[in-house]
Each structure stands twice: as C-alpha cells, then as structure tokens.
Amino acid sequence: MAIGFTFTEEQEDIRRAAREFAEKEFTPELARECDREEKFPYELWKKCAKLGFHAVDIPEEYGGGGYGPIEKMIVMEEFSAVNPGLGLACLLPTFGFEILVLHGSEEQKEKWLTKLARGDVIMGMANTEPDAGSDAANIKTRAVKEGDEWVINGTKQFISNGSIADFLLVTARTREMDPKAKHRGISYFIVETNREGYKANKIKGKMGIRATDTAEISFSNVRVPAENLVGEEGKGFYYMMEFFDMSRVWVGAQAVGIAKGALKLVIDYVKQRKAFNVPLATFQYIQFKIAELATKIEAARTLVYRAAAVQVEQGKPDNTLSSMAKWYAGEVAVETANWALQFHGGYGYIDEYAINQFYRDAKITEIYEGAKEIEKLIIARNLLGFR
C-alpha cells in the first residue's frame, strides 16, 4: 500500500475483480439456500479457485498468486461486503496454509500447497478442544511416537472444514504437560482425513456462517508417518500464536466487509422506505447514526490495513496491532449490523432479507481467532510490559 493507505493499481485491480466475482456469483438465492440448509457451496468454491482468489497469497512457486496479506485482506473485505457466509466459504478451504509455508518441509509444501493452489483439496486446522479454546495451551490431544509413526488420540471442537477437508493441521501434545508451562511440548501434524480412526461430526444449528463447514472431530489411534510432523517437535504452540497474529487481521478484514455491506443495505433501505409519509432517510437521528457508523467503519478499515502493512514492512505481524484490528473491527461489525437490522424493523427479523444474515454472521468475528477479551488482554499486557 502506498502512503495514505491508498491501493496500488494492481491492488485496485484485485479489489475490482473480487467485487465483480462476488456480485455475480453470490446470488441471494444461493446465499439463502446455503444458509438455510447449512450447505457448503462446492460449485461456487470451484469457480473461486479457478480464478485464484482463494490462493491469492500462496507463494507463486507452488501455483498461488504470490501476493501478501494486504491483497488477502482486500479479497476478504470485498467478498464479505456482498455476502459474509459465501465469502468465507470461498476462502476458508486454505485456512492454515501459512503454517506450512513457514514451517513445513519442502516435500510437504510441494505435496499440499500445489494442490491447495489448484483447488484440488480442502484443508483445515484443528486446534480448539472442549477445554482448550481461549486457553489454547490446554491441549490434551496426544501424539505418541511408535517406530516410524505417530499415533494420535483426542477430540477437537469447532473445527472449520472438519467434515469436508482432505487434510488438517492438527495440534497434539508430544510430551507430558507441565502445569507451569502448558505451552511446551505441543506439535503440529498433517492428518489426512481418510485415515482409519478419524471421525467428524458436522455441527448444525450455528447462529451464522452456515455456508461453512464446522465439525467436532475425534482421533482414535490415528496413525500418521513421521514425515507428517510439521516443523520442530514441541514448537507447535509458538507456530499457532504466530499464525493467530496473522489470521486476526484476516478476520478484521472480514469484519470490515460485513460492516460495509450492512451499512450499504441500510442506506438503500432507508432511502426507499417511509414512516409517517416521510422517507426514513430524512430523519435526523438515522442520518446521525449512519454518519457515526460510517466513521467507525473507516477507522476500523484503516486499523486493519495498517496492521497488514506493518506485517509486510517488518516481515512479521505486530501482535498488538493485530489484536487491536481484530477486536475493534469485530465490534464495529456487530454494532453496524445491529443498527442496520433495527432500522429495517420487522423486515430485518425475517431471513428473506439479507440484513438478517449479516446480523447473524457478524457476531463470529468477536469470537473466533481469539475472543475480544483475549485481544484486549494481549494489548494491555504488551502496553504494560507483561509477558
């Protein structure tokens, strides 16, 4: 990004292409179908993969676009502004690939990143457990070395793509837990989902993002070869935190897109509707609220892209900025969607209206990749010098 947070010509081309794709392919009918039936849109994802939007930041040598975090944010923002559920479904199938780029062996990269870039496979990342959500170091899934294999046992919860993925990056404890240093002794493994002992149960009834797959998964003596260990044994927690510092900015861009899309919906609505024979758009209170929300969205957007720009400049994310961006953008998305639905009145309460889905999809941005309370904790501890 150039000084002043304006996009380069190439970035603007990506933004326009992403918006055009979303406006053409994210039809209201498909959005309602996937939302109501909680169905992953395979055909839509294939169309997205054919154009390379899902792999915009996978390195060129493995078939990806070779761009960086800013371009990834641009695509996520534009997709989410048109339809958050379908936008996330298109981009989530490469979730976690950065860990392979940073820490995977060349053989692992060649095998999996090339397939991801072509849209031949779907991946996911399995970190969260019933007792290890915000407390990410409290992982109890175990991996025990037996000869040339690792044997994995345990349960993971709320795993994106859990029942549709071809492989997952799975965190497991490879050493006994030290109560005083729970973060030590955690490792990452590539686990193909067709291995014996792998089981996934799709979670239904989610409040939002229903076009994406979420599952509870279990490992019962799942055996993987030694070469499926990613990076160094025992370093998994550090890889996870490194990834979250990157993915939080991605969620921030998702939140900005949701807020931007919700604001557009309400602006279009109040310009068309009347109350007491007067257009809603003429009510000063509504005008003031729209002005307030638009300003907050612009502030959130600036913070998100600043966090991404710093990552490019430094070669690594700034976790204070990443946490600020994710927390604030998520809060703005929820507030904007809430007011947008309020101004729709009773119509907004019906899922036939797009704002209903925006409202439900917005909340997740305050929960996953670290709840907003965790983001505030990271910010405060960094500012106060606590480690």
Q: Provide the 3-class DSSP secondary structure of residue 274.
A: strand
Q: Which of 9, 369, 373, 375 is catalytic?
A: 369
Specify burial of residue 62 (Cβ count, 10 A radius: 0-12, 13-18, 19+). Answer: buried
> Dmax over Cα atoms in the chain, in whole Å?
79
The candidate with the shortest Cα–Cα distance to 193, out of 129, 112, 105, 91, is 112
Report phi then psi at 233, rounded to 5: -65, 135
- Positive or negative: CA dihedral 74, 76, 81, 83: positive
Output the CA–CA distances (angstroms, integers) from residue 132 to 29, 136, 187, 353, in the order listed: 37, 5, 15, 36
d(CA 97, CA 65): 14
d(CA 114, CA 64): 8
Per DSSP, helices labelled H in 96-216 are 97-103, 106-108, 114-118
Decide if 369 is catalytic: yes
Q: b vs e for 188-203, b when ≥16 Cβ sit within 10 Å of the residue's Cβ? A: bbbbebeeeebebeeb
In the structure encoding, which two tokens stand for residue 46, read together?
A: 């294939």
Quick one: DSSP state of residue 161? Answer: T
The residues assigned a catalytic role are 369
